[in-house]
Chain A
Amino acid sequence: MSLMLRVLLVASAGLLCWGVVREMSPMKVGSFADATANATEAKLATPLFRHELINPAQNLPMVHVAALAETPDGITSAVWYGGTAECHPDVRIYFSEREPGGAWTAPRVIMTREEAERDLARPVKSIGNALLLANTDGSLRLLFVTIAMGKWSGSQLNTCLSKDGGLTWSRVERLTLSPFFNFSELVRNRAIPQAGGGWCVPIYQEFLGKFPELLWLGERNGMLTYQKTRIAGGCSTFQPALIPAGEEYAEVLTRDYTSARKIHFSSSYDGGREWPFVTATELPNPDAGISGLRLSDGRLLVAFNDSAKDRSNLTLAIAAKNGEGWKRVAVLENEADASFSYPFLMRTSDGMIRMAYTRKGKAIALTSFNEAWLNERELQSPKNSKGGTP
């Protein structure tokens, strides 16, 4: 190469790099919207408790992994998947909504394997876990898993947007989150809004390892932008439930994949960028999904299967802000040989805590209660008790 050519090429490298770097203004990662900001009605004096099914008339061999979201006008939406079995080609994502004081609408299909294939222009084996994000402008963002091959280890994350309350959805967009053929990222637990816009979505990988991560979603010039950070590596815990307290401090509870069979806990002091340690709590976990929520007094609420072996009960427990001193306050479901799984906790703008979960693999159940009910239950339950049915 002549000297002149080298100089020209080096100058090209500089120019191209400048072009790339100029566009790559890093996303704002860290800092959560105040988790207790919508808890103003949380301290209602009267204990309230209600149990219902979201899809009582849906007759499918299997429904699973429900998620909830509330739009700014108070409409609560739910999504879940259903079909013959997990990872089966006929699995579809269902949607139902409820206006304040109203009833749940009949479930309708909002995503199929065929629709994902059409938009992504490639074959999809099945679809799965879905999550709804309710934006402040009223739009709904759907995050969902597609399976390219195998089972969950061969999955990818995708997203689309609805600006009409879930009636129509934009073209499906694939998120590239892993360097090895984009295997395998999944969603499961509630997303947390970021201070100043955007979302922090708990995700997890289960390809070679199983470990928890955070997906940071934003928007720039009308385009979706994203990146991720890792909570922990290895093959130990996954499916994080993210529970912030203020802009910078957050805690996660994770599902266990080790022989310890315990819910794991970690905390971050820098808006979720660094998670120095992950430790086992005293609560058991039968390698099953959990969900957590911050109460208005700063304590942690967790919904979990209170067993190291099976999912035959669904229990609520409360702990101090640092994840210590767990106290079981209520057993919501308990039936031998039955399965109650994948709780999804969120607080709606009326202060009520809503928990959707898979009931016996056949129905999506919704339990609603307020903090007064929790406090009442707590007073009746001695420390480390097994709680009691409501």
Chain B
Amino acid sequence: MTRELFEHLYAGIAPWLALALILLGRNPRLSRTRIAGSLLLAFFLLRVPVGGWHLFAWIRVLEPSPSFTLTGLLGIALWQRLSGTKIFRARDWRATWIIGAVAALVLYPLGLGLTSMDPYTWGWDRILPLATAATATLLLIVGNRFGILLLLPLGGFALHLQESSNFWDAAVDPFYAAVSLVMVLFRFVPEGKKTS
């Protein structure tokens, strides 16, 4: 029961952060009341009954436990929004989206059956946490802060905070993957075209 409770609590963090970010809006001036109100309202919105279930339960139908990477990114985005300080610089975000896009392109087409090779099975093997740790180490050596965020999947997976026992689900989820692909396609590709 304790494990299910922690899984449940962890699964609620990402939707809560995402809702709070939406409620805070884009106004650069945030009062304490607005901040506290948005955080509380986001929590209570997740508890709103819809068809006999809380909104959070309906979110879990689609995404039972978001990746630690997404949860960390939402946490950073919220912190940046509240404090006004840049935790992630442009190059940190660039690494975030590029690595997310590469993971998405490797995982989803093949994982959903494009060929007989299934990279999703790597997530039950040691190769994927090793690759994640190696990537984090490389990023940390060059001073990229996304390397710090990549420690979250390793820590979260070790603590069994997700329903899944596959390391891919600790590192990537469809939301992080989709945003990464969009960012790479619409942000970096045009930049590349301009410079060339």
Hey, which bits of chain A sit against chain B, CB under 8 A? Answer: 1, 6, 9-10, 12-14, 16-17, 19-21, 23-24, 26-27, 121-123, 148-149, 171, 174, 176, 178-182, 205, 207-209, 211, 213, 225-235, 275
Contact = CB atoms under 8 A, between A and B. Distances in A.
B153 to A, nearest CB: 9
Given A13-B137, A17-B132, A230 B118 contact: yes
Contacts of B58: 122-123
9 contacts: A1-B143, A9-B136, A9-B151, A20-B129, A26-B126, A179-B107, A179-B111, A207-B112, A228-B121
A178 B143 contact: no
Nearest to A275: B116
Interface in B81-131: 107-108, 110-118, 120-121, 124-126, 129-130
A229 B165 contact: no
B62 to A, nearest CB: 6
A209 B112 contact: yes
B155 A16 contact: yes
A205 B107 CA distance: 16
B22 interface: no
The DSSP consensus for interface residues of chain B is helix
A10 B61 contact: no
Contacts of B30: none
B141 A6 contact: yes
Contacts of B64: 122, 174, 176, 182
Contacts of B57: 121-123
Contacts of B145: 1
Nearest to B63: A181
Given A17-B130, A123-B58, A227 B124 contact: yes
Give me the 8 closest cross-chain CB pairs, A-B, nearest first: A209-B113, A17-B133, A176-B164, A16-B154, A227-B124, A230-B118, A122-B60, A179-B111
Contacts of A226: 165
B112 A6 contact: no
B124 A6 contact: no
Contacts of B137: 10, 13-14
A20 B154 contact: yes
Nearest to A235: B113
A21 B112 contact: no
Contacts of A211: 113
A122 B165 contact: no
A26 B125 contact: yes
B126 A9 contact: no
A287 B140 CA distance: 53
A234 B110 CA distance: 10
A148 B61 contact: yes
A384 B179 CA distance: 56
B171 to A, nearest CB: 10
B113 A205 contact: yes
B124 A16 contact: no
A226 B51 CA distance: 33
Given A180-B112, A235-B113, A149 B61 contact: yes
A179 B158 contact: no
Interface string B149-164: 0110011011000011
B148 interface: yes
Nearest to A228: B121
A6 B143 contact: yes
Nearest to B155: A16
Nearest to A225: B165
Contacts of A23: 158
Contacts of A12: 151
A271 to B, nearest CB: 15
Given A13-B137, A17-B132, A233-B114, A176 B158 contact: no
Contacts of B166: 176, 179, 227
Given A123-B52, A232-B116, 14 more contacts: A20-B157, A20-B158, A122-B60, A179-B107, A179-B120, A180-B108, A182-B64, A213-B118, A228-B120, A229-B121, A231-B116, A234-B114, A234-B116, A235-B113
Contact of B169 (A179, A207, A227, A233): A179
Contact of A180 (B111, B117, B165, B167): B111
